[in-house]
Amino acid sequence: MSAYYDALESREPAEREAALFAVLPQRIAHAQQSTAAGAEILRDVEPGTVVDREALARLPVTRKSELLTRQQAGRAQDPFGGFSAIGWRGVAGGHGVRRVFQSPGTIYEPEGSATDYWRVARAMHAAGFRAGDLVHNSFSYHLTPAGSMMESGAHALGCSTFPGGIGNSELQLQAMAELRPHAYAGTPSFLKILLDKAEEAASPLSLTKALVSGEAFTPSMRHSVRERGVDAYQCYATADLGLIAYETEAREGLVLDEGVIVEIVRPGTGEPLPDGEVGEVVVTTLNPDYPLIRFGTGDLSAVMPGHCPTGRTGRRIRGWLGRADQTTKIRGMFVHPGQVAEIVRRHPEVLRARLVVSGQAASAETMLLRAELRGAAPDGLATRLVEAIRDVTKLRGDVELLPPGSLPNDGKVIEDARNYA
């Protein structure tokens, strides 16, 4: 039995890159022609020119806030805000939507009719799920797409599913004791709850494997479930994009899914960062039903060097490292990462910067821009940066000039060091 889900996982990296960017111009053209949002956001883009990462980086980043704004503005005509190429027959003559989901915001996501629509089967296969397994699915089956994501992936592998959903742990434990499932899909915290309760009842579960997502999977939690005989793997997915990356038995980062193009960019801008540097995860999905081009997830991660020891040749990321949207309120004014990026853009001498907010919250708050320079500081740079802070943020701030490599590689653009006591 193959260790890989399919041959795509072990192809040469150059072959993968060529295949992704051969399809991308078609998806861009499709988005322009079939979606109102794509026609507007990508109106100045010539699809045939977007054939590599450098060209892709010139396209605008679409953020979830824009998706929400467009949905709210056009709900009477199109609840998907002009981003979906499919709908149901009652919406602008659309067709193809199998399910509609609601995520916090409120944001609506379409699910089309393709098998394994969210591409989760690949992650399940890497976690050891195989045809004939019974999967106890404890993700929500109502409102949000998580339950459907896991179920469609399991069915694509030939697994059966028990739709446990969330809550009702006693009933779920009864079903697990009587049906004896092989695998679990859900959050790691709920898996631990089930295992703890089963242990208290002296009725160990039959589970041997799990795919977890939706929250941090800490080393201590991994160890705890492993001690109970469950080998759990994590995946990174969102309601808008489906699977983005998944863990393998190597336990070294997350391998990127074969159906997405992932960039790590400087928060607040669309500027791609070098491998290893922490930044925002920006994803382009090749799903023709819901063509999201350069969609900013708001999550932080970094590309890892080399390839997975399992032989999978896809790029890897370090996993979820926090949120990129570090907008904060200072002396009654909102300051966001894009403003810090604008200050840096105005001064080529600055390699990167971090705005540190300190003092007593809501009273004696201060701002310090710690600016990492490319070389020696030219005369008057600190003064010009102070003026730029005032011009861009409308607030007063101080400046500290630093040599290259001084700032930590954690993706933070705004650091809140205030005392809230």
pLDDT tens for 39-78 read 999 999 999 999 999 999 999 999 988 999 999 998 878 9
- Packing angle, helices 188-200 and 219-227, rounded to 10: 40
Judged against a pLDDT cut of 90, whether residue 116 lies above it is answered with: yes
Cβ neighbours of residue 191 closer than 8 Å, sequence gap 6 or more: 138, 184, 210, 212, 225, 230, 232
User: How do strand 160-163 and strand 134-137 relate by DSSP bridges?
Assistant: parallel
The pLDDT of residue 94 = 78
The pLDDT of residue 3 = 87
**Phi, psi (deg, nearest 5) at residue 124:** -65, -40
The pLDDT of residue 420 = 59
The pLDDT of residue 216 = 85
Neighbours of 175 (CB within 10 A): 15
Give whole-number Cα distances, 271 to 195, 260, 407, in Å: 44, 18, 18
Q: Cα separation of 318 and 174, whole Å?
A: 37
Residue type at position 393:
T
Average pLDDT over residues 284-300: 95
| pTM, 2 dp | 0.86
Judged against a pLDDT cut of 80, whether residue 1 lies above it is answered with: no
According to DSSP, residue 49 is labeled G
Q: Cα separation of 416 and 327, whole Å?
A: 10
Judged against a pLDDT cut of 90, whether residue 336 lies above it is answered with: no
Reported as a single tens digit per residue, the pLDDT across 255-265 is 999 999 999 99
- Tokens 């434990």 sit on residue: 173
Which two tokens mark 146?
């998580």
Percentage of the chain beyond pLDDT 90 is: 76
Q: Cα separation of 127 and 223, whole Å?
A: 16
Average pLDDT over residues 408-413: 88
| CA neighbor of 303 nearest in space, from 373, 232, 252, 341 | 252
The pLDDT of residue 421 = 54
Greater pLDDT, 33 or 268? 33
| CA neighbor of 355 nearest in space, from 311, 391, 295, 407 | 407
Which domains occur in the chain, in start order? 328-419 (3.30.300.30)
Helix (H, G, I), strand (E, B) or coil at 279: strand
| CA neighbor of 195 nearest in space, from 232, 163, 160, 162 | 232
Average pLDDT over residues 170-181: 95
Average pLDDT over residues 245-270: 95
User: How do strand 350-360 and strand 328-330 relate by DSSP bridges?
Assistant: unpaired
Average pLDDT over residues 1-16: 91
Average pLDDT score over the chain: 92
